[in-house]
A and B are shown apart, each in its own frame.
Chain A
Amino acid sequence: MVFNERDTDALRAALQEAVVKCSERCLYQSAKWAAELLTSIPPSEDKNKTEPEDSQMTEVPNEGLPPIVVSGNVDPEEAMLEAKEINQYLLAKSFFDCREYDRCAAVFLPDTLLSGILSTTASNNTQNASTPREKGKAKEAPGQRSGIVPPAMPKLSQKSLFLALYAKFMSGEKKKDEDSEMVMGPHDVGTTVNKQLIVISRFLENWFGERSSESGEIAGSQGWLEYLRGMVLAKDKSEDEAMRWLVRSINLYPMNWGCWLEMTSLISRLEDLNRVAQDLPQNIMSYIFHLHTSLELYQSTTSLSNSLDQLLEIFPTSPFLLTCLALLAYHMKDLEVADQHFSNLLALHPHRIDSLDHYSNILYVLNLQPKLSFLAHLCSTTDKFRPESCVVIGNYYSLLSAHEKAVQYFRRALTLDRSCLSAWTLMGHEYVELKNTHAAIESYRRAVDVNRRDYRAWYGLGQTYEVLEMHAYALWYYKRAAGLRPWDAKMWMAVGSCLQKMGRNLEGIKALKRALIAESYYDAGVGSSFGSGVRDRGGTMDPEILLQIAGMYEGLEDEAEAAAYMEMCVAQEEGSNDNLEGSMINIHADSQSSDDESRPVAGRSGVESGTGVTAATSKARMWLAKHAMRTEDYTRAMQLATELCQDGVEVEEAKALVREVRVRLEVGGLSP
């Protein structure tokens, strides 16, 4: 993607226009996003060189500046309508800015008019007879209004119409917030809905019905109303339909970031993204969208980082893209780098709270208390009533093990914004810490309901059920989590352990082997796609997993395989530079492979050092020693037992073993 000067100028103009248009329609967040992006384009150097600042000030041509108050419209008919409505529009806009949504909507769509239109829609529907209930309703309506001519759709510009309907939508959202009960309170079942949705969708249906030609084309539409319709449909859970309208909107007006965000929230799988991508226009926005959505789907591939780099060339200081950079590093489990990126972002934009909750998660995992406390300090001074701030503070308290207070802050975050996903999940974690499993399950469940892509919530659900010893449930949730993050060893380990507990050793082994692969995949760094090149990967394997696999093989009474894995486990102590043992495992591995992909191989690079003696390796050594005893390989048993004594773990048992071996050896020495 090479950008020349003219492209940059065009982009700048488009973004300027987008800011104005979005703020005209009171889409504040989209406007903010676009403006942020706009200012992050570096000023073109030629202009600065050739023209001194003063002349630029005086000479700036009028057409170069977008009108700040009201933008023009290319469609002459719309432009005429807008000109006619300008006074009312300004009134409505100020109402919206003052958060008087109903009043704003009533400027263009008085309630009488609205009800008239809706009832006509209903009577139209009688002919279609869509649902029995509507039928019943519709029967009454014509009876009452037989003599009245149905009111015509008001002749409004699309901008005013959008503003009015969006105000309706917002008023519904506000009422919904007001109606909903205390977070996680006894009556908080999360069923409050936006009551205006049905009104808006009826109206839009009508509007589009009037405009569309037979081929389904909608004449003169500019994309905003489609966005609104998509949003309403998405709230109504008819996701495919919503996606269709959103895509349509994007094709008509690509600079509306809010629309892209809606689409992101509708996409829950990579396949969905790829499918949608075909219908999208090929421009920079869809590029950014692709990047953002992939990050939301926890992708972390090289191509992603490449495209991010390219975008950063155009927008070098964009806080949004810098956040993406940090998140990418986070998904690649490169926490230090992510911390670095976020820290830079903080220095550049000290008042920006957006997405700092992710930063706090990173700092939490890194256990950096002072930094987290400073971050909380900053957020709290900037705005303590932002959900992000509350999440940051909650995380800090969680790190201080003040779990009640953490819950309190997550709860506050949720009161501020019920769709705050991370707060639900984190609150679940806190409830687990507080041993309140029911509340934890509910929190996780809410998180999953808000966003089905959140693997942490699925995993948390699994964990909680595992604590409750309901393994079947736990397995189900672990599988969901693993499905979302197939390359994350932790998920597979959880699945494996769960299966083991349910006595399904064979499947468990499979899962754990996947965990081993996933782990080595991460350790080697990201770059190769999943499933290829695994065999060549070096790096140590988690002795815990190896021990567990061995244990399961033992459970399957497959002594040889168990012994092989035990050996492998012990081998992790010295790292992978021991070629001899590595080859030995290879032999074992090749002989009894049942899963073509899951052949872990101890590497031969010799660079990495081993894990040292851990509880797992000691257990493995003990098992091996006993195994050697059983197979009457006394010298090996002797060697292992002495090693155990040296390691200082389970010395007593090891000493007893040594003694036994000596006796056996002596007896053996005498008898043959």
Chain B
Amino acid sequence: MPRFLTPTKIGLLLLIDLYMQGAVPNSSSIPILSFLVRQLLPNFTNRRTRASPIESPIESLHFILDLGSFEALLLAHPALVPGRTLWDQFLKMLWSIDSLNALHGFFATRANLLANTAEENRMLVEMGIPRPPVGMLFLSRSSPFGSFARESRLEFYRLRFDDSLALWVSFVEWRQATKGYYLERNGSLGRWIGDRSLADGEADWGTDATEMLRITAYGIDGFGKIEGGRVSTGDIGKLLQFQVEQMQKFGDRVPLAMKDSFKGILENSLVVSSLTHYLKFLDAWRAGDYPTSFDNLHRYFDYTKRNRRRFFYQYALMNLAVLQADFGCLDEALATMIETISTARENQDMVCLNFALSWLYHFGKAHPNLVHGTETSNITDYEREGLMFLRTKAKETGTWTLWSSSLLSEAKLVLSNGESVSSAFENIQRSSQLVFGKGMKNMVGPQMAMTSSIWGRLGVSLLSRQYCQIFLSCHARDAVFDDLMRFSCRMAHLLTENGHYDDGIRGLEKLNKNSLRSWKANQHWQIYRGALRLKVELRRDNLENADRLLQQLLQFKGAGSDPDLTFEINILHVDYLTRRTDLGRALAKIDGMASALQEEGGDINPRLRLLTVKALLHSESGRPQKGFSLAVRAANMAWSARLLPALWAAMGAIANALNSLSEFQAASSILVAVIPRAYECEDCGMIAKLYSFLVDSHMGIAGQASSDSVQREKHLSKSLDYLNRAFEEYSAVEDIRGQSEIMAKEAILAIFLGDDLFANLYDFEDELFTNLC
């Protein structure tokens, strides 16, 4: 396998030569130049275009260029000679390299394309050689073309004879496809076209002997040819680098379409770059094939150790730790990471050290029991100190990413502890300034996620959704796949809360299929979709289906799973149990979850939700007062943490409890105050519930009023009005149980209003519903 030079490179050199000779008409120069530039500077266009699926990465990379690409480019352009295209001229030059010697000559004359240095000019003048005419084109030495020509020349000079021979043979083979066309255009050029030594020798040797010599020299056609001659190690190195970068940046795997050809190329290369092992490691990791990835990681570092020595040991450890954490070997991961930190400290590798510390911080957040052991007190202080440390470190070393991520982490910490929202905002703003000031595209995702989530917590769903949309439509192509996934999920969540189930699912389905081949992402994606469907099924009251889904979803727990998602599924489980009216188990489940949350000491939001859910469960079981203190506690906490959606839900629960205490007036005034704000949260289920509570309180007020009074009439009609609103909201989320509940209430109301027919109708429908369920 050649190091750098391939037939394609010769083709590019010829194209440059063609351009330099002035053979390219002005109108064609831009396409040709851009073709060349795209080849020579791969970074020029390889910005990943995830948004437009038409241009596949393979196409834009043009990795192995055959003559067909040249033909497609050049055939369209007429040459200055009438009746000929540039393709003809190119072929003429291509076939004029007619022997190994000519190839040597070709490379030796590449220097003529270059502009002389000042010193050379002086020497030429001293020797009395005239300067070249002014109109002639020359390549400046450091221009892309010039450096390419120089590099090619140097590389050719460094080739051993058999390598240059291999280049020549693969070149002959490469251009073979155009032989027919060229012969056709140029008439009788004889059989040995392209090889002068054979053509010259034919007179002496005769045709048969010449053929035999040809076979001796070039081998029998189609046998024993190495495909690898077309690809150089340099190309492979670039390809590997590109792929690894892609995988690290976007968290993808090797695309399926590329996989086989990629494998073939790598197998053909004699010098297996150690990066290959790294690539395999990444791929196996993403594929969830952990044993293989361990194997390859160790292999990679064994092979690289030779060249880079101990200095890179910490990186090996770091990779290992991350991998182990993914594998679920948390203890080992922790130990490895701690060793990483000490090694990095020893080697004074600040970047590595910072990364490791920040990783350890997040790891600690995810698995607090592992890191801190028993000392649960002072966690907040400890964490805060850690973040402060990281931030100052990041500032010192100028690692902006770490800095901004530590700011965001601090904001998150503040929020999840239910502390001052304004200080969280302050942190977010500071991070935002960093992200956009330093142009850190990879940090945009976390930044936006944080902003979106803070608005969500403040109950402004619209803003929260808009941030998601902005990210998905503007920043998606530079984003890590995990971020993309996170936003898509959040978007889907927000949509389902409004009852737009199809849109939500569609948003998830739209995700890049290739990226979803990554095992972890795929897992998350599957579970999320499952949770969404579970929600839908529950609301539609398809309890059998829901049961089946739940059975599967409940399997996903433990170290690898996302805690938020697990919580969501658990809540849905509670919902399921409630709908099954298995209230005892539901309560037990809630208690279990609450104690687990208490232990972990995580975010405040799920705890508040649990409290509210528990309060409502009590009301479901007919003892709403029992939930009163819970609801009050929840409301209190939510208010102090400014967790508005939770607050409204808690207020609903309080109102419900008040209703049961016959404090209808108070309940109704609370609800009337709350409902407009709750609309901002765009959670239809919650609003429906609030309305339903409001109906209850109005009914209660109506009941307290004297019969046939205006007061009662007024409240009854109000109730009816609110019932309709609640029904609308329930219909929006297709919550059949809620709908039927409202229907039942409406039927009762109808009886009150003396509309028997109407009531019967409701009864009938109600029966129908219950039967259906």
Q: Please name all residues of chain A whose beta carbon is closer than 8 Å to the beta carbon of B165 when the two chains form the complex.
A: 376-377, 380-381
- Is A344 among interface residues, defined by CB-CB distance under 8 A? yes
**Alpha-carbon distance between A505 and B630 when the two chains are bound, in angstroms:** 128
Q: Please name all residues of chain A whose beta carbon is closer than 8 Å to the beta carbon of B204 when the two chains form the complex.
A: 340, 343-344, 347
Q: Please name all residues of chain B whose beta carbon is closer than 8 Å to the beta carbon of A157 when the two chains form the complex.
A: none
- Is B209 among interface residues, defined by CB-CB distance under 8 A? yes
**Alpha-carbon distance between A395 and B714 when the two chains are bound, in angstroms:** 114
The A contact surface, by secondary structure, is: helix
Q: Please name all residues of chain A whose beta carbon is closer than 8 Å to the beta carbon of B589 when the two chains form the complex.
A: none
A384 (CB) vs chain B CBs: closest residue: B162
- The answer to whether B197 and A374 have CB atoms under 8 Å apart is yes
The B contact surface, by secondary structure, is: helix
Within 8 A of B (CB), among A365-397: 369-374, 376-378, 380-382, 384, 393, 396-397
- The answer to whether B99 and A370 have CB atoms under 8 Å apart is yes
Q: Please name all residues of chain A whose beta carbon is closer than 8 Å to the beta carbon of B110 when the two chains form the complex.
A: none
CB distance from A382 to the nearest CB of B (A): 7
- Is B648 among interface residues, defined by CB-CB distance under 8 A? no
CB distance from A340 to the nearest CB of B (A): 7
Q: Please name all residues of chain B whose beta carbon is closer than 8 Å to the beta carbon of A374 when the two chains form the complex.
A: 99-101, 197-198, 201, 217
- Is B20 among interface residues, defined by CB-CB distance under 8 A? no
* Interface residue from B100, B162, B216 paired with A373 (Cβ < 8 Å): B100
CB distance from A82 to the nearest CB of B (A): 41
Q: Please name all residues of chain A whose beta carbon is closer than 8 Å to the beta carbon of B83 when the two chains form the complex.
A: none
**Alpha-carbon distance between A378 and B212 when the two chains are bound, in angstroms:** 11
- The answer to whether B217 and A378 have CB atoms under 8 Å apart is yes
- The answer to whether B161 and A409 have CB atoms under 8 Å apart is yes
Q: Given A350-B216, A393-B161, A409-B161, A373–B209 Cβ distance below 8 Å?
A: no
Interface mask (B99-112 → A, CB under 8 Å = 1, otherwise 0):
11110100010000
- The answer to whether B210 and A397 have CB atoms under 8 Å apart is no
CB distance from B544 to the nearest CB of A (A): 74
Within 8 A of A (CB), among B206-238: 206, 209-210, 212-213, 216-219
**Alpha-carbon distance between A369 and B209 when the two chains are bound, in angstroms:** 21
- The answer to whether B212 and A350 have CB atoms under 8 Å apart is yes
- Is A295 among interface residues, defined by CB-CB distance under 8 A? no
- Is A502 among interface residues, defined by CB-CB distance under 8 A? no
- Is B200 among interface residues, defined by CB-CB distance under 8 A? yes
- Is B168 among interface residues, defined by CB-CB distance under 8 A? yes
- Is B138 among interface residues, defined by CB-CB distance under 8 A? no
CB distance from B203 to the nearest CB of A (A): 10
- The answer to whether A373 and B213 have CB atoms under 8 Å apart is no
Q: Please name all residues of chain B whose beta carbon is closer than 8 Å to the beta carbon of A350 when the two chains form the complex.
A: 209, 212-213, 216
**Alpha-carbon distance between A402 and B108 when the two chains are bound, in angstroms:** 11
* Interface residue from B101, B102, B196, B216 paired with A382 (Cβ < 8 Å): B216
- The answer to whether A372 and B161 have CB atoms under 8 Å apart is no
Q: Please name all residues of chain A whose beta carbon is closer than 8 Å to the beta carbon of B100 when the two chains form the complex.
A: 370, 373-374, 376-377
CB distance from A480 to the nearest CB of B (A): 34
- Is B157 among interface residues, defined by CB-CB distance under 8 A? yes
A396 (CB) vs chain B CBs: closest residue: B161
- The answer to whether B99 and A347 have CB atoms under 8 Å apart is no
- Is A348 among interface residues, defined by CB-CB distance under 8 A? yes
Interface mask (B627-660 → A, CB under 8 Å = 1, otherwise 0):
0000000000000000000000000000000000
- Is A556 among interface residues, defined by CB-CB distance under 8 A? no
Q: Please name all residues of chain B whose beta carbon is closer than 8 Å to the beta carbon of A81 when the two chains form the complex.
A: none
- Is B205 among interface residues, defined by CB-CB distance under 8 A? yes
A369 (CB) vs chain B CBs: closest residue: B101
B105 (CB) vs chain A CBs: closest residue: A369
Q: Given A350-B213, A371-B200, A380–B101 Cβ distance below 8 Å?
A: no
**Alpha-carbon distance between A20 and B217 when the two chains are bound, in angstroms:** 32
- The answer to whether B197 and A371 have CB atoms under 8 Å apart is yes
Interface mask (A343-357 → B, CB under 8 Å = 1, otherwise 0):
110111011000000
Q: Given A350-B213, A373-B101, A376-B161, A343–B205 Cβ distance below 8 Å?
A: yes
- The answer to whether A380 and B161 have CB atoms under 8 Å apart is yes
CB distance from B539 to the nearest CB of A (A): 76
Q: Please name all residues of chain B whose beta carbon is closer than 8 Å to the beta carbon of A524 when the two chains form the complex.
A: none
The bracket for how many chain B residues form the interface is 20 to 34
**Alpha-carbon distance between A517 and B196 when the two chains are bound, in angstroms:** 41
**Alpha-carbon distance between A340 and B200 when the two chains are bound, in angstroms:** 12
CB distance from B553 to the nearest CB of A (A): 65
CB distance from A159 to the nearest CB of B (A): 38
- The answer to whether B101 and A381 have CB atoms under 8 Å apart is no
B198 (CB) vs chain A CBs: closest residue: A374
Residues of chain A at interface, number, CB under 8 A:
28
Q: Please name all residues of chain A whose beta carbon is closer than 8 Å to the beta carbon of B197 when the two chains form the complex.
A: 370-371, 373-374
Among B197, B216, B218, find the residue whose CB has the most chain A CB atoms closer than 10 A.
B197
CB distance from B167 to the nearest CB of A (A): 12
- Is A91 among interface residues, defined by CB-CB distance under 8 A? no
**Alpha-carbon distance between A402 and B197 when the two chains are bound, in angstroms:** 21
Q: Please name all residues of chain B whose beta carbon is closer than 8 Å to the beta carbon of A346 when the two chains form the complex.
A: 205, 213
**Alpha-carbon distance between A617 and B101 when the two chains are bound, in angstroms:** 37
B202 (CB) vs chain A CBs: closest residue: A347
- The answer to whether A377 and B217 have CB atoms under 8 Å apart is yes
* Interface residue from B101, B198, B212, B218 paired with A372 (Cβ < 8 Å): B101
Within 8 A of A (CB), among B137-166: 157, 161-162, 165
- The answer to whether A402 and B157 have CB atoms under 8 Å apart is yes
CB distance from B500 to the nearest CB of A (A): 70
- The answer to whether B99 and A378 have CB atoms under 8 Å apart is no
- Is A141 among interface residues, defined by CB-CB distance under 8 A? no
- The answer to whether A370 and B101 have CB atoms under 8 Å apart is yes
CB distance from B204 to the nearest CB of A (A): 5
**Alpha-carbon distance between A372 and B102 when the two chains are bound, in angstroms:** 12
Q: Please name all residues of chain A whose beta carbon is closer than 8 Å to the beta carbon of B200 when the two chains form the complex.
A: 370-371
CB distance from B43 to the nearest CB of A (A): 34
**Alpha-carbon distance between A396 and B168 when the two chains are bound, in angstroms:** 15
* Interface residue from B157, B205, B217, B218 paired with A347 (Cβ < 8 Å): B205
**Alpha-carbon distance between A381 and B164 when the two chains are bound, in angstroms:** 12
Interface mask (B176-211 → A, CB under 8 Å = 1, otherwise 0):
000000000000000000001110110011100110
- The answer to whether B162 and A351 have CB atoms under 8 Å apart is no
Q: Please name all residues of chain B whose beta carbon is closer than 8 Å to the beta carbon of A369 when the two chains form the complex.
A: 101
Interface mask (B674-686 → A, CB under 8 Å = 1, otherwise 0):
0000000000000
CB distance from A670 to the nearest CB of B (A): 45
Q: Please name all residues of chain A whose beta carbon is closer than 8 Å to the beta carbon of B101 when the two chains form the complex.
A: 369-370, 372-374
CB distance from B160 to the nearest CB of A (A): 8
Q: Please name all residues of chain A whose beta carbon is closer than 8 Å to the beta carbon of B216 when the two chains form the complex.
A: 350-351, 378, 381-382
**Alpha-carbon distance between A371 and B161 when the two chains are bound, in angstroms:** 16
**Alpha-carbon distance between A369 and B200 when the two chains are bound, in angstroms:** 13
- Is A656 among interface residues, defined by CB-CB distance under 8 A? no
- Is A400 among interface residues, defined by CB-CB distance under 8 A? yes
- The answer to whether A400 and B104 have CB atoms under 8 Å apart is yes
Q: Please name all residues of chain A whose beta carbon is closer than 8 Å to the beta carbon of B217 when the two chains form the complex.
A: 374, 377-378, 381
Among B99, B100, B219, find the residue whose CB has the most chain A CB atoms closer than 10 A.
B100
A390 (CB) vs chain B CBs: closest residue: B161
Q: Please name all residues of chain B whose beta carbon is closer than 8 Å to the beta carbon of A396 when the two chains form the complex.
A: 161
**Alpha-carbon distance between A15 and B197 when the two chains are bound, in angstroms:** 37
CB distance from B662 to the nearest CB of A (A): 104
CB distance from A319 to the nearest CB of B (A): 14
- The answer to whether A380 and B206 have CB atoms under 8 Å apart is no
B108 (CB) vs chain A CBs: closest residue: A400
**Sorted from nearest, which 5 A-B pairs have the closest CB atoms?**
A374-B197, A373-B101, A347-B209, A347-B205, A373-B100
Task: Identify 18 new A-B residue pairs, CB closer than 8 A, beyond the known A370-B102, A373-B197, A405-B161.
Answer: A346-B213, A347-B205, A347-B206, A348-B209, A350-B212, A351-B216, A370-B100, A370-B101, A370-B200, A373-B100, A374-B217, A376-B100, A378-B213, A380-B161, A380-B162, A381-B218, A382-B216, A409-B161
* Chain B contacts to A: CB under 8 angstroms: 99-102, 104, 108, 157, 161-162, 165, 168, 196-198, 200-201, 204-206, 209-210, 212-213, 216-219
Interface CB pairs A-B, < 8 A, 22: A343-B204, A344-B204, A347-B204, A347-B205, A347-B210, A347-B213, A351-B216, A370-B196, A371-B197, A373-B100, A373-B197, A374-B100, A376-B165, A377-B168, A378-B216, A380-B161, A380-B162, A381-B165, A381-B216, A393-B161, A400-B104, A402-B157
